[in-house]
Structure 1
Amino acid sequence: MMQTITIRREPWFFQDPLVNATVAKSVAALSPAFKHLPAPVRLRASGALRAWDLLSERDARVAKARRIVSDPDTGSHEAFMALIDAITPSIVLSKVDREGAAEDLRGKMSAIMMPLTFWWRGGALYEPTLSLGTLLSGSDIASDLPAQLLTPPLHTLCIVPPWQHRHYCGGSHAIFLFEFPSASAAASTGRALAMSSFGASEKGGVVAEGFCVTIDDENAPLQPVIDQELDRQCSDAGSAWELHQIEASRDRWRQRLDYVTKTLLYLRSDGAELRHLQPYSAAPKAFPGFGRRKREEKLAQVDQLYDRYIVGPASLEGVHGGEHGERLTPGQALPAHWRRGHFRMQPYGPQSSLRKVIFVAPVIVRADRLSTVD
């Protein structure tokens, strides 16, 4: 069945009908009608992605903005401003509250920009398993791991945690990662990793938040680099209210950074499990013999499919207490009688001159605390 989407009247509209229809479909992607889908897939399922593609073919300003946004070397703010500038000429704001209308549009475009950039840069979806989330939440990062390990496998990706583990990553339903050269880097090799969180408010609305880690020294210890970025953003606050707002989100971003960092480290470790599922690529896109309505219904169903990488083990069968037989259950917190897992560097190669990251899973250490098993 095709979905009928009702869009509330916004305090703004666009004189250009094509721009207006495109932004309206994009706003619809943020509605509860698509909450069952990962953030990037929402944009395609609502028809917004096709609308933006069509708009970029017919509007020179949007075409130019698309070239800027699609370039992985473009920073997040520059990409956002390029798209806003492209559609601004035809905007009409509410006369009742122009400032509020502009802020409303900016907030919605911030949320829309994440999945749009994802698609235009050819991003990939990564879904950690519930089992992997259990292992990561019960593991630590060694203090000597270098910042160079905080490198995604692609310059653009989206990590979608299981809903049971959203509390491990600050309530995020999805975390977008965009890697690009750092404009403020002291060296030409400096880079920035922009992270955008896509979540939901208590009222069901979409909440978009951003954070950027700048890495000028790839050999610097990873954890201090992250801590410095958190401290810098707090010190840059212009008022007490702004400082309070930043401090309020600090814990959430620490959780997100912890989840993202451990996921990326796991992907680099020996023995990492990764499966590529491609239901969207494998699905038929042409339906000869169908009428227009039936064909549109079929395409709407296909647009809700999505390719993704499944990261981590499907179960925790290999993680247990050895002869004691106790096993972890996906989704549970690490019991007190288990030793926490950890990521650390391990020497290898000629004369152990090289180092690689390894993941040591949690293991039982206090058999005396085991509960009786029938």
Structure 2
Amino acid sequence: MTEPLLSTRARSLAAVGQASSWAIADEGLRRVAAGEDILLLTLGDPVCPPHPAIVAATKAGLDAGRTHYTPLHGEPALRAAIARSEGCAADEVMVMPGAQHAGLAVLTLIVGEGDEVILSDPFYATYPGVVAATGASAVRVAARADLSTDVDAIEAAITPRTRCLFLNSPANPSGTALSVQDYQRLSRLCEQHNLWLVVDEVYAHFRFDGQDVRAWQHGPAGRTVSLNSLSKSHAMTGYRVGWAVAPGRLIAALGDWSAAALFGVSQFIQDAAVTALSLPESELAPYRQAFRARAQQVVARANALQGLTATMPAGGMFVMLDCRGVEPDDQRFARRLLDEAKVGVVPGSGFGEGGRGHVRISLTPEAETLDLAFDRIAAFIARD
């Protein structure tokens, strides 16, 4: 019997090979589950629990029976809390189950078949899949040598089919960030070519350079979308709560999307999110500042090893190590680290051509774990 076919969209998703980006990380997780002594420096999933007030609010919401349908755009209290955090109006906020889904929803509503979406390469590994799911084509534009977004190269890549620039600041995996000057130039390009600017800002609270440059304040008016969530900023990855800040006409369309795809985010999760956003910075600063310290630690340890180089990122949860002085093939280097040094890292080529010759180190493990991992990496390099 002939089986029914999958859609062209499904085949497009398979073609971008998202799963292969995480193959070594997944292998490391399997080995840890089997009892092997592997130190994982792979995923951006904070090891610490959420703040106790967030956990208490989650439980209180469940105890209060807050388990019903919600307004499609989000609970008013949460939209107001996000608006205060983002410097926008509450009616410019759409609550979604994570920034990943918010990105998919936004792109589905602004691009489609035959359109082009520009990505800065290296990019977060899921972005090509998000673009493929919309039916549009991803145009990968090489970043500068330091892996930062090259606005000149973006301008040269714009065609009559371009509809959107999809960027990340601070960026995963590179740790680079867009400047005010970058936004000024990107704004001119978007206005000149009638483009949307979509910026994933999930690492906005992790800036190591003292800057706080946001898309909503510096991007082109009426055509900027900011994506964010509490996954990283408040160690709430499993809560799956995020948002899009966007112009009113797109917010209205996102309400239609929610009616078709989600029918809202759980009440008790939104209650916990309100509590998270109400926490004073003093309560969150130790958690966030620890990432800066661990970034400095990783950069120092890497640069002390022959053949490895790293620079301090502008922000985020990762450091990119240039491994070409040890092994030009980042996939092979990561595989050998896993097999021989018992350290799991993510090959940079999984994030595009711009990441080739690098591996990504997560800053989520504790400092002691990072030191032990680099002791193992040092021993591996010494005997290689």
Given the two structures, how large is their TM-score scaled by the length of structure 2? 0.23
Given the two structures, how large is their TM-score scaled by the length of structure 1? 0.24
Q: Which structure has more strand as a fraction of its residues?
A: 1
Larger radius of gyration: 1
